[in-house]
Amino acid sequence: MELKEAQLKVDEWIKTYGVKYFSELTNMAILTEEVGELARIIARKYGDQSFKDDESELNLGDEMADVLWVLLCLANQTGVDLNKALIANIEKKTNRDKERHKNNKKLYK
């Protein structure tokens, strides 16, 4: 599924089941909350923290999808075409950083 289609599916879901979008400010707070939940799993799975007994069912992919969902909502609410934005962002990073990381000796340790 492309980002454009994902934005349309989220919009359709909101209009069918969600009544309406939460406000942009509320969605920003929810996005922060979802990123925190994703960070918790990353810290436990790849970092030094251990899982608590009640965290055994945490799903990394599901938490990433929650983050993406809210980001898609925010894009829809603010009129951002994430497909175009991502293409432009990759071009920006390529132009800015095409040699930068290759020349970073820290990455070769």
More confident residue, 55 or 51: 51
Q: Where are the domains of the chain?
A: 3-81
Q: Which tokens belong to 61?
A: 């992919």
CATH of 3-81, picked from 3.40.50.620, 1.10.150.80, 1.10.10.10, 1.10.287.1080, is 1.10.287.1080
pLDDT band at 109 (very low <50, low <70, confident <90, very high): confident
pLDDT band at 57 (very low <50, low <70, confident <90, very high): confident
What is the rounded distance in angstroms from the CA atom of residue 59 to the CA atom of residue 38?
A: 9
DSSP annotation string for the chain: --HHHHHHHHHHHIIIIISSPPPHHHHHHHHHHHHHHHHHHHHHHTSS----GGGTT--HHHHHHHHHHHHHHHHHHHT--HHHHHHHHHHHHHHHHTTTTTT-GGGG-
Q: Tell me, what's the pLDDT at 6?
A: 98
Q: Tell me, what's the pLDDT at 54?
A: 82
Q: Tell me, what's the pLDDT at 85?
A: 97
Q: Tell me, what's the pLDDT at 22?
A: 98
Task: List pLDDT tens digits, range 5-46.
Answer: 999 999 999 999 999 999 999 999 999 999 999 999 999 999
Task: List pLDDT tens digits, range 59-89.
Answer: 999 999 999 999 999 999 999 999 999 999 9
Q: Which tokens belong to 107?
A: 């990455």
Residue with tokens 């599901």: 62
